[in-house]
A = this chain, B = another copy of it.
Amino acid sequence: MLTFVGLGLYGTRDITLRGKDAVDKADYVFAEFYTSKLLGASVEDLEKFFGKKITLLSREEVEKGKILIESASKGNTVLLVAGDPMVATTHVSLKILAEERGIKTEVIHNSSIITAAPGMLGLQHYKFGRIVSIPFPQANYFPTSVYDFLAQNMKMGLHTLLLLDINPRPMTANEGMEILLKMEEKKKLGIINGDTLIAVVARAGAPDAAVKAGYMKDMLKENFGPPLHTLVIPGKLHFAEAEALVKLAHAPKDILEE
């Protein structure tokens, strides 16, 4: 048996009771923090909390699946994952692989930044376009396809959730905004400038979670504290959404008049 257990957004107590039950019953407990990170708890914290040894797997070990499949064929095996486990494609492949080998699988869902971030800002889920993800630029590789997707969402008046790279370290909101400006410079679609309204969600699910909305030129000067950070570029705002951004995220009041 292989059970994928979502740890949720931040700390040890974000696991569900069902998730905790699965860990308690497990013969082997693994974790991976490559596809998603849990900022409020280390592997040691989790070991202490569950009273069990946890083996941290590398990206390659998760992708190859050998260790997990072998373990799951011997006993109840849990893979701990931050957020909602099946958001990562690699876990979908692993689930398929396990089932092909005759191993039963189970998924214990949990919260994800995908629903938490819009909710924290008071933006309607129905009005989000496709999610984009901002990778760290590489020496010879500066992908700008995410910029085209952002442009597409903006053209349709939809909000965009922009997830920030977490490898080799979590990207800050400020770095994300600077990369967006560089993409604009390169592609010149005229969609991002200093007057673009943008929102930052910092440490979703943490006791010191924070949201802030404002114009890019002002937001670039702010410090949003420790990771994880997520960006949202709002599209056309319903009045209730604009009000929520002002009340919950201290957006400038002039957005209420637009």
Number of interface residues of A (CB under 8 A): 56
Choose one: B12, B85, B119, B132; the contact of A84 (CB below 8 Å): B119
Query: Does A47 count as interface, using CB distance less than 8 angstroms?
Result: no
Count of this chain's copies in the oligomeric assembly = 2
**Set of chain B residues within 8 Å of A86, measured between Cβ atoms:** 115-116, 118-120, 122
Does residue A244 face the partner (Cβ distance < 8 Å to B)?
Answer: yes
Q: Can you identify 15 A-B contacts, CB atoms within 8 angstroms?
A: A6-B111, A16-B110, A17-B17, A84-B115, A86-B116, A86-B119, A89-B122, A89-B240, A92-B119, A92-B248, A100-B247, A107-B119, A109-B119, A109-B205, A125-B131
Q: Taking beta carbons and an 8 Å cutoff, which residues of A are in contact with B?
A: 6, 8-9, 11-18, 20-21, 84-87, 89, 92-93, 95-96, 99-100, 107, 109-112, 114-116, 118-120, 122, 124-133, 152, 156, 158, 204-205, 240, 243-244, 247-248
